[in-house]
Structure 1
């Protein structure tokens, strides 16, 4: 073989070797072999199921996590990123564009699970009259409760310093059903809640009005594990620490403007990613870190902020001389969790039924009507009594309150008939429930 041929063969062999190597590297990359090998090692190592109560969580780890910067390219639908938080403008997002809303929900989900853990929706309520009507109802409730029971204490202020309405969701409906219906007909609730919790979520709310001089909260995490003591937290397995933040969505709607000096919520972006945060936030060194690094975003009336409940956060201090900061705090629970407050839905449905029926008669099953049904009625039929309420032919679960309420307004039932069906369903769902008559609402 002459020299030229040997050189050609050598070049071909080298090219084939390079191609083979590239192919192998591509396969390894595709299969993510390093991660696979780490998982293999981890699966063979027995680790304690709970965090060690005698060791301290690592502030260095939290600091490294929270030094990340949010890139606008990760959240292209956001108007901007400010103070490490994506800011969206509902005015510029078309609710009728299903593809856009799907992409938006992808962004919101990524934010809370892998990103900064918090975002703001400008113009969440675009019509200030809805907020004004709700505020009037809240004022009437506060005055009535003050007369009957006196001033209430608050999470972070003595009695009479601030005003709080526990379970404002139920009280709002009973005080002013028209205002309540308009408020929770806002389809943005469904977009936000579905993006993180999926369907069949449960909304609860609490109004909080912070007066001038109202002090800041201590940084904390929220429901479920955020409400446990230090001793209790370490008794829960590590998987529960990760799970608890996926069961609840936290938020607040601004019912007044919230200028900087009025104390809008203080937030530590990315802190929800710190695995041991539920047992760390009470420690002085973590409190000091929060106080040095938190961010707070001024908001306007009708704006909303939503965040992962594991995010380190705290209400700010109202440093104004004459301005009351008012927010409707939102806690939304997954169908697979328990709400922070008990909601008796039947009185709320009865009180708002005629308003909802009229709204459906004028509009049909619009996004607004659907949003209200999801807010006011239970979407998850369990726990139930399967002897009394077997699954319908069309699915693996019996009808929910939302199913029956939709059927009622679509078919124009009277309020009496609708309430009779819902009451019978509730009775049949109890441990000692009676079997429903065979003219079942669903399964047809």
Structure 2
């Protein structure tokens, strides 16, 4: 049902939050009739989609602009914008051998980060800027991963074209405590004494600028602590201010829900939903054995930003692209030589480039050159790939573009 905005003010303060108003928004169930493409509704709240079945039925293709994808995109938008704020795609990453290879690389990144880290963490362990580090270490597994149809469809459905991909691999060891309830990037990442400086309409806009996701790299039963969610909480306009209020925190802890997920599943959610990683109750806890063997919970946390916002990680898009381009060129040529039996299709190549290169032109000091607009980096890379430019030639072009972008003409 439509939600009446709870804020009619220009600014938001603690005086504006009301647990009673909040409860009227979140205390509901999700009707399966609202999400006819979903296979089920977990906890009576979270739509669950069967990715292989959607592929088989033609409702999910590797070209997110395909009209056949429109019903799924509409449901996805509705779920995050007006609905529970979170959805699950079962077997989004169905190629388990490829996923296992990705997990090995990501585990190496975790080990490298731990070797230089000076802080012992008792929550989930996160490696920043995984996207760029991964592309540098293993462009093959990076490309295999980011050609994924579910990831590209959800990113583009929520944010439109030219989105910016970042990812952070997360490891939660047995016994790690639960995260505190929070909202996420953008306003979720600023100090709570700063929220009041942002006008109310920016509180509403913040969670439309980013898509949050988590891809499971291991099976995550409930005892391993998959993410706690409070569905529909993203609809509460004063949620950023309320997220640190003791009464709201207590309510979250009593009413949040968890869904077990399996290796290869993907969870996507609004950054405005109240959420937090669960406690890993496996293995030994305080010296006592539990009934569950230890589970090292590994998830790739993707944070996809609108072209019109600022991404969370300071990624070098040119370097990331140069790392993977030789492999993309090899796969493109293989696809042509084998008439599509091997290699990557154009749609798959496009999905990978969208995850690596800068797809938005701005900011730039050289947007109008010799009577025509400068092309975004992703467009330059795409043209190079279609023209079979060598990796060395592309690297030179991208360097020249970056210099031109900074100094202008």
TM-score by length of 1: 0.82
State the distance in 2 between where 1:302 and 1:123 align: 5
Q: Residue in 2 aligned with 1:329?
A: 301
Matches within 5 A, 1:272-291: 272-291=234-253
> Which of 168, 181, 190 pairs up with 2:130?
168
Instruction: Return the structure number with greater relative CO, CA threshold 8 A, min gap 6.
Output: 2
Q: CA deviation at 1:166?
A: 1.3
Distance 1:110 1:194, change over 3 A: same
- 1:204-255 Cα offsets, whole Å, 9 max, x none, are 1111110111000111000000112221001100110011011000110001
Distance 1:387 1:212, change over 3 A: closer
Q: Does the alignment pair 1:224 with 2:186?
A: yes
Matches within 5 A, 1:138-149: 138-147=106-115, 149=116
Distance 1:310 1:375, change over 3 A: same
Q: Residue in 1 aligned with 2:311?
A: 339
Q: Residue in 2 aligned with 1:373?
A: 353
Q: CA deviation at 1:151?
A: 5.2
State the distance in 1 between where 2:367 and 2:273 align: 42
> Which of 367, 378, 402 pairs up with 1:426?
402
Find the residue that maps to 1:295 and give its secondary structure: coil
| Unaligned residue ranges in structure 1 (runs of 5+) | 1-37, 40-46, 436-444
State the distance in 2 between where 1:294 and 1:134 align: 31
Q: Residue in 2 aligned with 1:415?
A: 391
Q: Does the alignment pair 1:85 with 2:57?
A: no
> Which of 183, 194, 204 pairs up with 2:156?
194
State the distance in 2 between where 1:194 and 1:253 align: 17
Distance 1:316 1:387, change over 3 A: closer
Contact 2:41 2:48 in 1 (8 A): yes
Name whichever of 359-368 and 288-297 sits farther off: 359-368
Contact 1:390 1:398 in 2 (8 A): no
Name whichever of 60-69 and 255-264 sits farther off: 60-69
Contact 1:222 1:310 in 2 (8 A): yes
Matches within 5 A, 1:291-440: 291-321=253-283, 322-363=294-335, 365-386=345-366, 389=369, 392=372, 397-430=373-406, 432-433=407-408, 435=409
- 1:62-90 Cα offsets, whole Å, 9 max, x none, are 11100121111111000011210000011
- 1:120-177 Cα offsets, whole Å, 9 max, x none, are 0001100111221111112222333333x145455x63xxxx5321111111111111
Find the residue that maps to 2:194 and give its secondary structure: helix
Distance 1:99 1:48, change over 3 A: closer
TM-score by length of 2: 0.88
> Which of 76, 89, 93 pairs up with 1:125?
93
State the distance in 1 between where 2:257 and 2:386 align: 47
State the distance in 1 between where 2:16 and 2:364 align: 43
Q: CA deviation at 1:183?
A: 0.8
Contact 1:152 1:163 in 2 (8 A): no
State the distance in 2 between where 1:313 and 1:52 align: 21
Distance 1:391 1:222, change over 3 A: farther
Name whichever of 227-236 and 213-222 sits farther off: 227-236
Q: Residue in 1 aligned with 2:103?
A: 135
State the distance in 2 between where 1:278 and 1:312 align: 9
> Which of 25, 35, 57 pairs up with 1:65?
25
Contact 2:110 2:169 in 1 (8 A): no
Q: CA deviation at 1:387?
A: 6.4
Contact 1:91 1:123 in 2 (8 A): yes
State the distance in 2 between where 1:350 and 1:131 align: 23
Find the residue that maps to 1:234 and give its secondary structure: helix
- 1:311-361 Cα offsets, whole Å, 9 max, x none, are 000000000002111100010000010001111012221111110001111
State the distance in 2 between where 1:247 and 1:173 align: 25
State the distance in 1 between where 2:92 and 2:145 align: 11
Distance 1:405 1:387, change over 3 A: closer
Distance 1:398 1:62, change over 3 A: same
State the distance in 1 between where 2:11 and 2:383 align: 47
